Amino acid sequence: MTQTATSKQTSEQKSFETPDETRSFERGQVEIVNIGGAEIGRLVLQPGWRWSEHVKPIAGTELCEAPHFQYHVSGTLGVRMADGTEYVLRPGDVSSFPEGHDGWVIGDEPAVVVDFYGASNYAKHDH
């Protein structure tokens, strides 16, 4: 966050246990907290979840158009970019993806991801 002469960061604390907003969709949800002038999201994606099957009908786009800057807490995610490049993301990984990708849970464990950029538009009906 860029600080200007007229703005000053304040002390805040929030918890994903009491998010400011929750958006649920088939096999998953995103919980959003508003803090420090930003919207931070925690995505909890269940086994069998795939963006192109479970969020595409909400987004109304061919691929996910939300950019992401994420920390992977648990579970494993696969991501395929529009150009065909694929990634496998595991706990402890940090990832950055621009618009234009599909994603899916790999294995039998839910994937939990904290998204520092892009969560505000994720699974939102009215873009």
Best CA proximity match to 104, nearest among 69, 70, 77 = 77
Distance CA 25, CA 12 (A): 29
**Number of folded domains in the chain?**
1
Could you list the residue range(s) of the whole structural domain that residue 116 is in? Answer: 21-121
Q: Please state the pTM of the whole predicted model.
A: 0.85
Residues in the chain, total = 127
CB-based contacts of 126, cutoff 8 Å, min separation 6: none
| Cβ–Cβ < 8 Å for 39, 120 | yes
Name residue 106's beta-bridge partners.
Answer: 76
The CATH code of the domain that includes 68 is 2.60.120.10
By three-state DSSP, how is residue 39 classified? strand
- pLDDT per position as a tens digit, 101-110: 999 999 999 9
According to the model, what pLDDT value does residue 122 have?
Answer: 63
What's the pLDDT band for 127 if we cut at 50, 70, 90?
A: very low
- pLDDT per position as a tens digit, 75-98: 999 999 999 999 999 999 999 999
Q: Is 15 among the domain residues?
A: no
